[in-house]
Structure 1
Amino acid sequence: MRAIQVVEFGCPVAVTEIPEPEIQKPDDVVVRIAGAGICRTDLHIVEGGLEAAFQQRLPLTLGHENAGWVEAVGSGVSHLAVGDPVIVHPAVTCGVCDGCRQGRDMHCGTWRFPGVDGWAGGYAERMVTSARALVKVGRAGAEPSALAGLAPFADAGLTAMHAVQRLVPFAGVGATVVCLGSGGVGQVAVQLLKILTPAAVVVVEPDAERAQAARALGADVVLELPAEQAADAVLDLTGGRGARAVLDLVGEGGVPEQAMRMLAKGAVYSIVGYGGGVRIEHLDMINRELTILGNQIGTHAELSELMMLVEAGKVSLATELFPLEDAAEAMAAVAAGRVAGRAVLVP
């Protein structure tokens, strides 16, 4: 079958032929892919930026944002049937460790990360995963193109859901929450902040098209400014107090430093984007009693809750579909910022 693989770090991905995935364990499920989202993490993988962190070996089939149809199930799977439309949680987990027992899937001690750690992902016609990873979807995925469009919710949406739910204690009445970035994750985050909290939502997004998307999705204030100017603007908006929460979806360059500058006393800096860093001054952390949160992907329960909101029409995400064989061109478009929402590959 066709697949998109990294065959050499630093080079564009290649269209290859690989064997069809097969059921090997009782809880295995083969999913026929309707769509696979392109995440910036995929771009970092191609560049070789995650080789050491995940001990990656090439060739590697990318794709950790996937949706499709159940094509085959193992002997131990009774709650899924061939033909069921599903969205695929990014993690394959054991189900019996402390993390899994407590519902924190991403804390599984032996988890696998298809499309990232060597387990073949969904940039292909089919992939194999665990039945534990799948969430059935209803009418929102009734049509093939609609199901393909759900794929980015598996990571972009799920990460936003996880991060926003952790911000709820900081985002009460009268609070200001700043969202740095309005790409795919940011667009979902804005909607969830408006649904789950009464806080005023301020989006910082220099790109005009993405800034307009944030306005359309309900952001109270959109600042089309670079981070340094935006930090001053946030302080002005809050009478010098700062924001109760800053959700950093960029994490690069000078953005983390400016994010810290925006924080009010008792506030939280919530990190999703990566690639940069910030120096932590302990006295400042103590005097302002700040909290820093790192966010991985969310839980299976959070993915289920998110899909309920999508099904109800309360959360949406702009997507652009590309043929699977155009993966290199699509990834270049994402890298260049030419995709306002999320790009999705369709076999």
Structure 2
Amino acid sequence: MLACVIESAGKLAVVPKPDPEPGPGEVAVDIVYGGICGSDLHYYHDGAAGEFVIREPLVVGHEVVGRVGVIGEGVTGIEVGTPVAVHPAQVCGECEDCTAGRPQLCASSRYLGSAAHFPHIQGGFTQRLVVGAGRAVPLPDGMSLRRAALSEPFSVAYHAVRRAGELTGRSVLVTGAGPIGCLAVAAAREAGAETIYASDLTDYALAQAKQMGADVLLRADHPDDPAWPAKVDVAIEASGSGPGLNTCIRTVRRAGTVVQVGILPPGMTSVLGNALVNKEIELLGSWRFHDEFADAIGMLADRIDAEPLISHEFPLADARAAFDTASDRTTACKVLLQIADPEAVVTG
């Protein structure tokens, strides 16, 4: 089989790998689509995502969907050919965080396509992926694999919006209108937010946020625009930048809430610390997700049409062109790798 591998900054290739076979309790998923995430792009350009540095060749990708190809011993309740979205995290289930209902914080979590541990956790941009059967989540009837490819990033955005608390009737600012920011707009709209502001540095990204339900579009490089709100109840920082975070701190009301979901650059980030104090702002982190995955899939299937965010598709063989395209935020939003024919029939 073929897989998309990054060895270090700028060194990306599609290479052959041994075909994996599922063990007891596992299934092999024939991957159809993989969405390129911001962390994948960081591995591509920098050889690292945040604090996680590539130390061995890494199959990247964690936003993957496909069809069950082979079923391992002892697996019941799922059939060959079932379309599934793959939950990217394998947690221990026994640590303090797992047992306290915070499995997304499990220190032993093995997340697809991550250099957080060594050996690295190989990812999903591959023709066949073996995972525990419980991580292959069947799609609702009629849901296309293309739409389901947004399940993982929408789960990230949905978790961030849940971290913000009750949003019914509230005003929300989302800084950064990349895929996560746009999906946070959609999740905030679904949660009942009254007015949603979205900011970004490009008009293209803001147009995507508009499609997801943003009411007011703001250029981050035009701070004097009178459309900027004097204050908002909640701010969700999805740009992964210090200026974006400080915009949130500056704009949120006294006793308001800021949720940081964008991954900031490695090391220290300067923030408006005194505003945190004298406005008694709640500053919350939001890390991935866990139990929200199935709910997020259901919302995408039934109520939220996020497919307009998919701007490009490339075959796996053209992975480098796909990564280069995804890196240009003036023309691309969510870029998919098509790893197999979405209309193919799996027979085992």
Of 12-21 and 212-221, the range deviating more from structure 2:
212-221
CA-to-aligned-CA distance 1:141-180 (integer Å, 9 cap, x gap): 4xxxx314422321x11110100111133x342x321011
Kindly tell me: are residues 312 and 54 of structure 1, through their superposed partners in 2, closer, same or farther at Cα, counting changes over 3 Å? same
Q: Which residue of 1 aligns with 2:89?
A: 91
Measured after TM superposition, the shift of residue 291 of structure 1 is: 1.0
Q: How do 1:236-275 and structure 2 match up within 5 A? A: 237-238=229-230, 242-252=231-241, 254-275=243-264
1:204 and 2:194 correspond: no
Distance 2:332 2:224 in 1: 23
Identity, % of aligned pairs? 27
Measured after TM superposition, the shift of residue 102 of structure 1 is: 4.4
Measured after TM superposition, the shift of residue 227 of structure 1 is: 6.5
Partner residue of 1:132 out of 131, 134, 147 = 134
Q: Which residue of 2 aligns with 1:285?
A: 276
Aligned length: 331
Distance 1:103 1:137 in 2: 25
Distance 1:183 1:281 in 2: 24
In proportion to residue count, which structure has more helix?
A: 1
In proportion to residue count, which structure has more strand?
A: 2
Q: Which residue of 2 aligns with 1:46?
A: 44
Kindly tell me: are residues 282 and 259 of structure 1, through their superposed partners in 2, closer, same or farther at Cα, counting changes over 3 Å? closer
Partner residue of 1:316 out of 306, 309, 315 = 306
Partner residue of 1:180 out of 162, 170, 175 = 175
Of 46-55 and 255-264, the range deviating more from structure 2:
46-55
| Counterpart amino acid of residue 293 in structure 1 | L
Q: Which residue of 2 aligns with 1:189?
A: 184
Secondary structure of residue in 2 paired with 1:41: helix
Distance 1:10 1:73 in 2: 36
Q: Which residue of 1 aligns with 2:342?
A: none
Kindly tell me: are residues 140 and 272 of structure 1, through their superposed partners in 2, closer, same or farther at Cα, counting changes over 3 Å? farther
> Is 1:176–1:244's contact at 8 Å kept on the other side of the alignment?
yes
> Is 1:2–1:15's contact at 8 Å kept on the other side of the alignment?
yes
| Counterpart amino acid of residue 6 in structure 2 | V
Q: Which residue of 1 aligns with 2:13?
A: 14
1:161 and 2:158 correspond: yes
Instruction: Write out the 4+ residue segments of structure 1 that deviate beyond 4 Å after TM superposition.
Output: 280-283
Distance 1:148 1:126 in 2: 17
Of 43-52 and 328-337, the range deviating more from structure 2:
43-52
Measured after TM superposition, the shift of residue 335 of structure 1 is: 1.0
Distance 1:99 1:178 in 2: 30
| Counterpart amino acid of residue 247 in structure 1 | I
Kindly tell me: are residues 212 and 47 of structure 1, through their superposed partners in 2, closer, same or farther at Cα, counting changes over 3 Å? closer
Kindly tell me: are residues 73 and 199 of structure 1, through their superposed partners in 2, closer, same or farther at Cα, counting changes over 3 Å? same
Structure 2 unaligned segments of length 5 or more: list them: 340-348
Distance 1:227 1:251 in 2: 19
> Is 1:180–1:203's contact at 8 Å kept on the other side of the alignment?
yes
Kindly tell me: are residues 315 and 121 of structure 1, through their superposed partners in 2, closer, same or farther at Cα, counting changes over 3 Å? same
Q: Which residue of 2 aligns with 1:297?
A: 288
Q: How do 1:113-132 and structure 2 match up within 5 A? A: 113-117=111-115, 118-132=120-134
| Counterpart amino acid of residue 296 in structure 2 | L
CA-to-aligned-CA distance 1:7-36 (integer Å, 9 cap, x gap): 2x1224101011012223x23221110101
1:334 and 2:326 correspond: yes
